[in-house]
Amino acid sequence: MWDELAVKALEILACLGALLVLVLLHEASKYLREQARRVENCLARELLMSAIAEAELVGVDAVYATNQVLVDALRRTSANGKLSKEDAANAMRFAVDYFKTHISSTSARILGGPAELADTWIREFLEAKLAQMKVDALDAGGPR
């Protein structure tokens, strides 16, 4: 009788042990999935930050290139030295094209969306960069 009771107790303990192992495996799996999700989020955040940093550099280059190549030439040829609305639109197209051709395809995919949205975003981004650069020049005592 004691032997049967000991066998039953061992069977119950074995079942409880197996259940405990299953619970621990489930929790370990859940923990590892969460860690993997954090790594994915960290990688995505790093990719986005890298794309934004590249966009900043290319945006500044686009503004400088547009100013040096197009705006200066247009100002020299216009009677009053001011850009017309059409000239300003041409300069923006030049800057957008410069941006699109100089940013990496990876960064463009990360930052982009539908073509119209991307063009709108690029124009607004370049306008903001131009405004920021003008303010920085004024703060540094540059041309007004």
DSSP-derived 3-state class of residue 105: helix
Q: Would you say residue 40 lies in a domain?
A: yes
Higher pLDDT, 73 or 124: 124
- List the domain range (segments joined by +) for residue 10: 2-139
Q: Would you say residue 131 lies in a domain?
A: yes
SS3 content of the chain, % helix, strand, coil (to 5): 90, 0, 10
Q: How far apart are CA 119 and CA 111, in angstroms?
A: 11
**pTM attached to this predicted model:** 0.65
Q: Would you say residue 144 lies in a domain?
A: no
Q: How many domains does the chain have?
A: 1
Q: Would you say residue 128 lies in a domain?
A: yes
pLDDT of residue 54: 92
Q: Would you say residue 36 lies in a domain?
A: yes
Q: Residues 66-115: pLDDT tens digits?
A: 887 776 677 677 666 676 788 778 888 888 999 989 999 888 888 876 66
Q: Would you say residue 86 lies in a domain?
A: yes
Q: Residues 30-57: pLDDT tens digits?
A: 888 888 888 888 888 888 899 889 999 9
